[in-house]
């Protein structure tokens, strides 16, 4: 006998699944654009931050990208091997590793400038719709990171 499913337990009713599916498809949409730049999606995010502000420490990059150093360090090593970034200890504090763009990494910015436009064309979204969606997702991320997050829920209670 087939049990009836509570509507709130249907996969297609879950916000988390909609976000998960959209995130996977968004990353896939970027893939061909980034392959032309010889970057993975996480590497592209690192480059975006460095194009915005060069000379950040590994911890500053991690904060900006919401990544821990264990995830970030291998990305940075691959970017260094590709000749896009340099890594050096800060003179002011040898414990800090500073990441800087190489000339090649800085020049890549010009080619990467087409990525957002190409993606926008693929999405067929108006600038207003795109901006609203981005802002709503930022708000959601902030709410989920807030100390008032109801993550104390105990389904066994």
Question: Is the pLDDT reported for residue 127 higher than 90?
Answer: no
Could you tell me if 47 and 80 are in contact, meaning their C-beta atoms sit under 8 angstroms apart? no
Q: How confident is the model at residue 155 (pLDDT cuts 50, 70, 90)?
A: low
Beta bridge partners of 56: 99
Could you tell me if 100 and 7 are in contact, meaning their C-beta atoms sit under 8 angstroms apart? no
pLDDT of residue 91: 79
pTM of the complete model: 0.84
pLDDT of residue 152: 45
Domains and CATH numbers, the chain: 16-144 (1.10.10.10)
pLDDT of residue 3: 72
Question: Is the pLDDT reported for residue 154 higher than 80?
Answer: no
pLDDT tens, 40-80? 999 999 999 999 999 999 999 999 999 998 999 999 999 99
Q: How confident is the model at residue 151 (pLDDT cuts 50, 70, 90)?
A: low
Mean pLDDT over 99-106 rounds to 98
pLDDT of residue 156: 53
Residues 49 and 29: their CA atoms lie apart, in Å, by: 20
| Range in 1-10, 119-128, 134-143 with the lowest mean pLDDT | 1-10
What is the DSSP secondary-structure string of 37-80? TT--HHHHHHHHHHHHS-SEEHHHHHHHHT--HHHHHHHHHHHH
């Amino acid at each position: 006998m087939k049990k009836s499913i509570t509507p709130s337990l249907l996969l297609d009713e879950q916000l988390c699944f909609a976000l998960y599916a959209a995130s996977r498809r968004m990353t896939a949409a970027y893939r061909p654009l980034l392959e032309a730049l010889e970057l993975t999606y996480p590497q592209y995010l690192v480059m975006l931050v460095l194009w915005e502000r060069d000379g950040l420490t590994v911890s500053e990059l991690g904060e900006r990208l919401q990544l821990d150093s264990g995830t970030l360090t291998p990305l940075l090593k691959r970017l260094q091997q590709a000749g896009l970034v340099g890594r050096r200890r800060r003179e002011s504090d040898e414990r800090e590793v500073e990441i800087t763009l190489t000339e090649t990494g800085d020049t890549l910015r010009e080619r990467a400038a087409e990525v957002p436009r190409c993606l926008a064309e693929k999405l067929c979204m108006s600038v207003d719709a795109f901006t609203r969606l981005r802002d709503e997702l930022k708000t959601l991320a902030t709410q989920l990171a807030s100390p008032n997050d109801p993550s104390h829920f105990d389904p066994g209670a």
